[in-house]
């Protein structure tokens, strides 16, 4: 059973996920940088549904039975979950130490039935379906009273933690605890709201839109900007221009628009940097649990956003130890560079697999 442990000093939480444990001497194994679909059938491709655990849900525009082809987006449980879905949430404590049983959900969102590596090579309409699946899963997981937050993220490329098969997908982890990085943002935005009666994100968007210095791309409803204090080179955040704390409450027309700016931003990063490894992660309001008054504040002061982080530099001892990041590129240069980057790219072919992805996408 995995365990969530709290650092007594900083309130940072850690998942001790022994079920994925490797033997101590297995840690330095080298995973090949090649698509395993060159050697064996990709379990995420349409037609191979039987190679995965039964699906949690799937978008099936033309109907069809679960776990059969015909889906456009498919959600399955992770084959190596970091938390377990079964069990009750139990607190443990021993002197200075606190822990909670490692209850949670860990799901994969398979973003296309075809063996395509990059989300931004999918048609806008397909990316919109992916966004619908994200929303649907978060809304569904909110019904489970054990969970406080769903972390949605993408690991793209080996250096960003992508697995063996290069088939476009994202992950969701439902947690019984609101993650510290989100709590830091909630705390900072609440403090700002208390001082100014305004959302700090709205103020940032207003200021950045005036100077345009750090704006990388823009659509009717969204802005993609390089944050003033970017931690990583080419870090870009996508934010809705109109105030909204909650990703899942996005009106349908905005969903299409988010698909567009996501495609443009990721496509520009791919074009500009030669298909870099990257992570993106969603920060949205945590689930509305107890304290209803508190939620009204969050709805006023928090503003959901997607943080995109290309993985180009190595984070070393200094960053781990200090929380101080070293970024060798100014966000102004990042924005300038991305504004100039040419997109759309030529479309990625849709091969029948097995196939190698080697040499694709630059």
* Residues of span 62-101 touching a second copy by CB under 8 A: 82, 94-97
Q: Are 6 and 183 in contact (CB under 8 A)?
A: no
Residue 193 near a second copy by CB under 8 A: no
Copy the structure tokens of residue 270.
């791919």
Rounded to whole angstroms, the Cα distance separating 91 from 189 reads 29
Q: Are 166 and 274 in contact (CB under 8 A)?
A: no
Residue 261 CB, shortest distance to a second copy, in Å, is 19
Strands (E), 135-232: 149-156, 169-175, 215-218, 222-225
Q: Are 220 and 301 in contact (CB under 8 A)?
A: no
**Which residues in the 260-319 window bind a second copy by CB under 8 A?**
272-274, 276, 279-283, 307, 309, 312-318
Number of residues that bind a second copy (CB under 8 A): 90
Comparison of 164 and 350: residue with beta carbon closer to a second copy: 164
Rounded to whole angstroms, the Cα distance separating 82 from 23 reads 17
Residue 250 CB, shortest distance to a second copy, in Å, is 19
**Which residues in the 323-342 window bind a second copy by CB under 8 A?**
323-331, 333, 337
Residue 264 CB, shortest distance to a second copy, in Å, is 18
Copy the structure tokens of residue 265.
């931003």
Comparison of 49 and 246: residue with beta carbon closer to a second copy: 246
Instruction: Select the residue interacting with a second copy from 59, 89, 180, 345 (CB under 8 A).
Output: 180
Comparison of 47 and 188: residue with beta carbon closer to a second copy: 188
Q: Running DSSP on this structure, what letter comes out for residue 47?
A: T
Half-sphere exposure of 4 (CA within 13 A, CB side): 20
Kindly give the pairing relationship between strand 215-218 and strand 236-240.
Answer: unpaired
Residue 1 CB, shortest distance to a second copy, in Å, is 11
Instruction: Select the residue interacting with a second copy from 38, 89, 160, 355 (CB under 8 A).
Output: 160
**Which residues in the 213-232 window bind a second copy by CB under 8 A?**
227-231
Over the window 4 to 43, marking each residue x when it contacts a second copy by CB under 8 A and - when it does not, the resulting string is: -xxxxxxxxxxxxxx-xxx-xx-xx---------------
Comparison of 131 and 308: residue with beta carbon closer to a second copy: 308
Instruction: Select the residue interacting with a second copy from 33, 40, 203, 358 (CB under 8 A).
Output: 203
Cα 327-168-303 angle, rounded to 5 deg = 55
Tell me, rounded to whole angstroms, the distance of Cα 46 from its chain centroid: 23
> How many Cβ atoms sit within 10 Å of the Cβ of residue 173?
21
| Residue the block writes with tokens 């101590």 | 24
Residue 196 CB, shortest distance to a second copy, in Å, is 10
Comparison of 231 and 350: residue with beta carbon closer to a second copy: 231
Comparison of 205 and 258: residue with beta carbon closer to a second copy: 205
Residue 172 CB, shortest distance to a second copy, in Å, is 10
Give Cβ neighbours of residue 144 (< 8 Å, ≥ 6 apart): 105, 174
Sole window of 63-71, 120-128, 136-144, 171-179 interacting with a second copy (rule: CB under 8 A): 171-179
Instruction: Select the residue interacting with a second copy from 159, 288, 343, 360 (CB under 8 A).
Output: 159
Rounded to whole angstroms, the Cα distance separating 270 from 120 reads 9
Sole window of 47-55, 133-141, 180-188, 347-355 interacting with a second copy (rule: CB under 8 A): 180-188
Q: Are 350 and 34 in contact (CB under 8 A)?
A: no
Cα 333-339-342 angle, rounded to 5 deg = 125
Residue 350 CB, shortest distance to a second copy, in Å, is 26
Copy the structure tokens of residue 7.
């650092």
Residue 249 CB, shortest distance to a second copy, in Å, is 20
């Amino acid at each position: 059973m995995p365990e969530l442990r709290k650092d007594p000093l900083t309130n940072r939480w850690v998942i001790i996920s022994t079920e994925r444990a490797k033997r101590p001497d297995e840690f330095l194994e080298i995973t090949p940088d090649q698509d395993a679909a060159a050697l064996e059938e990709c379990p995420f491709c349409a037609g191979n549904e039987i190679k995965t655990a039964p699906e949690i849900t799937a978008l099936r525009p033309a109907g069809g039975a679960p776990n059969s082809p015909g889906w456009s987006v498919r959600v399955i449980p992770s084959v190596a979950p970091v938390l377990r879905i079964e069990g009750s949430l139990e607190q443990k404590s021993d002197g200075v130490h606190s822990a909670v049983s490692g209850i949670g959900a860990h799901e994969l969102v398979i973003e296309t039935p075809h063996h395509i590596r990059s989300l931004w090579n999918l048609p806008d309409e397909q990316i919109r379906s992916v966004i619908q699946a994200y929303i649907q899963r978060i809304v569904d997981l909110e019904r489970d009273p054990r969970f406080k937050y769903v972390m949605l993220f993408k690991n793209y490329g080996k250096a960003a933690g992508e697995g063996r098969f290069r088939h476009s997908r994202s992950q969701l982890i439902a947690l019984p605890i609101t993650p510290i990085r989100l709590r830091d943002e909630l705390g900072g935005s609440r403090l700002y709201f208390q001082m100014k009666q305004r959302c700090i994100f709205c103020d940032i968007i207003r200021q950045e839109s005036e100077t345009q210095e750090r704006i990388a791309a823009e659509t009717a409803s969204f802005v993609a900007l390089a944050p003033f204090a970017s931690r990583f080179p080419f870090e870009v955040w996508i934010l809705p221009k109109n105030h909204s704390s909650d990703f899942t409450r996005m009106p349908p027309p905005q969903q299409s628009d988010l698909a567009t700016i996501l495609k443009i931003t990721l496509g520009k990063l791919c074009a500009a940097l030669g298909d870099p490894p990257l992570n993106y992660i969603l920060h949205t309001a945590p689930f509305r649990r107890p304290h209803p008054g508190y939620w009204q504040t969050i709805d006023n002061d928090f503003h959901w956003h997607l943080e995109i982080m290309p993985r180009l530099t190595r984070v070393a001892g200094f960053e781990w130890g200090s929380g101080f990041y070293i970024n060798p590129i100014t966000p102004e240069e990042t924005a300038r560079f991305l504004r100039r980057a040419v997109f759309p790219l030529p479309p990625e072919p849709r091969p029948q697999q097995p196939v190698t992805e080697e040499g694709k996408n630059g």
